[in-house]
């Protein structure tokens, strides 16, 4: 027996018209947000949009050419915070002593070596690694704008173009979060420290000059550069953008209806410098400058006061957790349950690419709250899955992505359930116990699965990963090895 199609739980108004090749998939199990995990789900799309979602569809009723997806099929994952070039540091900066600030010097050394060609090669490989991990959309927090000593390239957005091309090569949707970065920090007297060394590559001089350069990208009135490319804005941090310069960035983002992201209170030292300079916390500085709001994401949000949490939640600001990076750099544990309770929608990011595994990032949100509180059960599987998919996409300016529903962007990730990690762990119920959504398989995947369990990825209706292999990049490990060696020498 075939059940009735499932409508979107969130869509407002009619879905966008779909056009293009018609495709059909038959998911053994599919997580339909707001519904639960259901069996034998027929998912159909035309072009880059889903046209129908029908659970419990018998094999005899399947259209010819339907692709079978064995395992748990989910919406595409959204990587809400990424610095692609940090991938070159993996394995070279994790061991030994040091702090965030000593790690930053290593990162600057890598930044100093990149040019548009080497950045394109490295980002192409990194983005391919992301798609193998189930990521269908990345928010690239991009501040490496100019040549050595800050000299402009003939195309002032050559580094941005390299990232956009890299995403296309990997089959990945991208929000280019073009970052305003004007100063090297705050001095003891509360003044801005001038950019120096590799930091000179990050700066545009003023926020107005930043906005002019971003305008040269040529995005349309909605911030779009193409069907899979959106331009957003970022303020690097209160250390790097004085409050008086933030207004121009906020104005640009509002005019374009674009997402606005900012690093917030990752390190206690940042808070101390901000208090010395402005007599208030970084969150209060952002609030007073009009930065916070429902299109804004704060990244890390680790060291917050209760008043900070109220400001963030009350303004409906997104909060992006990057737990593997925050652990690697000894940042601390953010108050993510308190942020969610206050009204923030949570998202996840791979940040420094210490690992690229959003299932790992997502479960660590829960696990770190357990470590901090000595209690279990802070987040449900539904909440964690929503952070990984729907809310992550919304924070990047793609509210039409992140759920398997009619009218949504046709992004799918299928997790195999037969690996040593998941065999026997995923109790495959096919009913809703006591009228509640069945989330047993989703719970197993979120708490025991990893990127190696990703078998198939569809982005915008196109196969990008098939049977665990990338369909567009022949040898992703070889591409990574070549690109990293070219950068590190």
pLDDT digits (tens, 9 = 90+) for 78-120: 999 999 999 999 988 776 777 887 888 899 999 999 999 999 9
pLDDT at res. 33: 77
Instruction: Decide if 142 is catalytic.
Output: no
CB atoms within 10 A of CB 279: 10
Instruction: Give the position of tokens 């601390």.
Output: 332
Catalytic residue among 40, 48, 308, 351: 351
Can you give the pLDDT at residue 308? 98
Confidence (pLDDT) at 433: 52
Query: What 3-state class would DSSP assign to 229?
Result: strand
Are 358 and 77 in contact by the 8 Å Cβ rule? The answer is yes
Residue 300 annotated in active site: yes
pTM of the model: 0.95
Distance from C-alpha of 363 to C-alpha of 303, rounded to nearest angstrom: 20
Q: What is the pLDDT of residue 98?
A: 76
For the stretch 421-458, pLDDT in tens is 999 876 655 455 555 668 999 999 999 999 999 999 99
Count Cβ neighbours within 10 Å for each residue of 408-445 and write b for 16 or more, e otherwise: bbbbbbbbbbebebbeebbeeeeeeeeeebbbbbbbbb
Distances (CA, A) of 24 to 16, 41, 45, 67, 351: 19, 10, 7, 6, 34
pLDDT of residue 15: 44
CB 425 within 8 A of CB 448: yes
Domains of the chain, first to last: 22-75+409-470 (2.30.40.10), 77-395 (3.20.20.140)
Catalytic annotation, pick one of 146, 300, 393, 470? 300
Nearest Cα to Cα of residue 412 among 356, 454, 470:
454
Give which of 362, 480, 428 is closest to 77, Cα–Cα. Answer: 362
Angle (deg, nearest 10), helices 476-488 and 116-132 = 150
Which positions of the chain have pLDDT values less than 50?
A: 1, 11-17, 430
CB 110 within 8 A of CB 89: yes
- Measured distance CA(189)–CA(192) in Å, rounded: 9
Distance from chain centroid for Cα 259: 12
């Amino acid at each position: 027996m075939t059940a009735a199609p499932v409508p979107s739980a969130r869509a407002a108004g009619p879905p966008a018209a779909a056009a293009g090749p018609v495709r059909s998939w038959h998911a053994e199990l599919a997580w339909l947000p707001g519904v639960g995990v259901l069996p034998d789900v027929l998912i159909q799309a035309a072009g880059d949009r889903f046209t129908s979602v029908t659970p419990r569809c018998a094999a005899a009723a399947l259209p010819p050419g339907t692709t079978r997806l064995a395992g748990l099929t989910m919406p595409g994952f959204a990587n809400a915070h990424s610095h692609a070039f940090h991938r070159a540091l993996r394995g070279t900066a994790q061991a030994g002593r040091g702090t965030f600030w000593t790690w930053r010097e290593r990162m600057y050394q890598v930044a100093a070596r990149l040019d548009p060609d080497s950045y394109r090669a490295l980002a192409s490989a990194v983005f391919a690694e992301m798609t193998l991990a189930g990521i269908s959309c990345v928010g690239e927090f991009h501040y490496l704008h100019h040549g050595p000593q800050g000299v402009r390239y003939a195309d002032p957005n050559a580094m941005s173009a390299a990232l956009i091309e890299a995403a296309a090569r990997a089959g990945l949707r991208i929000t280019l979060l073009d970052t305003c970065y004007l100063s090297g920090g705050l001095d003891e007297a509360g003044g801005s420290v001038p950019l120096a060394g590799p930091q000179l590559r990050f700066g545009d001089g003023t926020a107005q000059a930043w906005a002019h350069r971003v305008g040269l990208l040529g995005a349309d009135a909605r911030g779009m550069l193409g069907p899979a490319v959106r331009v957003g804005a970022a303020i690097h941090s209160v250390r790097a953008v004085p409050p008086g310069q933030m207004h121009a960035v906020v104005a640009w983002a509002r005019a374009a209806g674009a997402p606005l992201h900012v690093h917030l209170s990752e390190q206690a030292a940042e808070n101390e410098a901000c208090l010395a300079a402005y007599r208030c916390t970084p969150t209060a500085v952002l609030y007073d400058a009009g930065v916070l709001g429902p299109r804004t994401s704060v990244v890390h949000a680790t060291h917050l006061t209760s008043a900070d949490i109220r400001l963030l939640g009350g303004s409906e600001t997104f909060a992006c957790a990057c737990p593997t990076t925050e652990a690697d750099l000894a940042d601390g544990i953010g108050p993510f349950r308190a942020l969610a309770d206050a009204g923030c929608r949570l998202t996840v990011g791979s940040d420094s690419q210490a690992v690229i595994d959003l299932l790992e990032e997502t479960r660590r949100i829960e696990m770190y709250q357990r470590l901090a509180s000595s209690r279990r059960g802070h987040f449900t599987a539904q909440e964690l899955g929503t952070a990984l998919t729907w809310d992550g996409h919304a924070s990047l300016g793609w509210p039409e992505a992140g759920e398997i529903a009619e009218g949504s962007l046709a992004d799918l990730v299928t997790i195999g359930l037969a690996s040593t990690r998941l065999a026997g762990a995923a109790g495959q119920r096919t009913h809703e116990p006591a009228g509640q959504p069945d989330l047993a398989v989703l719970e197993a995947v979120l708490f025991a699965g990893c990127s190696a369990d990703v078998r198939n990825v569809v982005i915008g209706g196109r196969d990008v990963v098939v049977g665990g292999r990338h369909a567009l990049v022949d040898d992703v490990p070889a591409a990574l090895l070549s690109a990293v060696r070219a950068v590190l020498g």
